Amino acid sequence: KAGVTQTPRYLIKTRGQQVTLSCSPISGHRSVSWYQQTPGQGLQFLFEYFSETQRNKGNFPGRFSGRQFSNSRSEMNVSTLELGDSALYLCASSFTGAGNQPQHFGDGTRLSIL
Amino acid sequence: DQQVKQNSPSLSVQEGRISILNCDYTNSMFDYFLWYKKYPAEGPTFLISISSIKDKNEDGRFTVFLNKSAKHLSLHIVPSQPGDSAVYFCAASPNLYGGATNKLIFGTGTLLAVQP
């Protein structure tokens, strides 16, 4: 059974650019969440989607946005990139949105801002 | 405000012995707890979870204990193996009135080193 797939694995951008990251959840999973991992802040919740609707959003500026498609695939977008956006961005999927089942993570997209 | 805390940044254990990783939380609204293992350059791998209605859950070598009154959970690995060497994160999910959520709040992680 295929796991969560994130593309691309690595990305280098410059300040001011925008970027779109993609996540394909495990087949049958309808919930997708995004997290940012940095050495200083650890793993932080960005947002969560279930059935194409954003249900929760973390404490990030509006430059961070996302969406979910009808096939449960999700994208997140970061506009006007800043040096501090350099991080590992992780996507996780879960079968339901009930909050009582484990989420399974992809291997992430490593974003570097120059 | 760190709602989920792992106070030990690292732990070293001999192969075959028990590894005990600890996690404390402050938010009484958390009702589902998970442990993840993470290797460098990979995403976190789910290990085991526990609902707040239980105080223990076991899966093979892994057992999670939950003490709600102390707002404390721990992960026991018995016996520890060199392949268990990784960073371990505990995570908690809040019970939001008016709707469910898959939002996870993570601890800062504990680096476990199992010595052969």
Amino acid (one-letter) located at A76: M
Determine contact: B45 vs chain A, CB below 8 A: yes
State residue A38 phi and psi, 5-degree precision: -130, 155
User: How many angstroms separate the CA of residue A68 from the nearest CA in chain B?
Assistant: 15
Instruction: Point out the residue among B42, B101, B108 whose CB comes nearest to the CB of A55.
Output: B101
Instruction: Point out the residue among A55, A92, A100 whose CB comes nearest to the CB of B32.
Output: A100
Supply the pLDDT for residue B97: 53
Range name among A45-49, B83-87, B97-101 with the lowest pLDDT average: B97-101
Inter-chain CB proximity A104 and B103 less than 8 Å: no
Residue B107's H or E segment, with its range, is: none
Inter-chain CB proximity A100 and B51 less than 8 Å: yes
Distance CA B45, CA B78 (A): 18
- Quickly tell me which residue has 């650890």 as its tokens: A42
- Across chain B, what does the average pLDDT equal? 92
Supply the pLDDT for residue B77: 98
* Cα nearest neighbour of A54 on chain B: B101
Q: What is the pLDDT along chain A (114 residues), one digit of tens a residue?
A: 579 999 999 999 999 999 999 999 999 999 999 999 998 888 999 999 998 999 889 999 999 999 999 999 999 999 999 999 999 999 999 987 676 788 999 999 999 999
Chain A residues with CB-CB distance to B96 below 8 A: 99
Count H helices and E strands in chain A, helices first: 0, 11
Q: Which neighbouring-strand residues pair with B76? A: B20, B63
Inter-chain CB proximity B43 and A4 less than 8 Å: yes
User: How many angstroms separate the CA of residue B73 from the nearest CA in chain A?
Assistant: 17
Rg (CA), chain B: 14
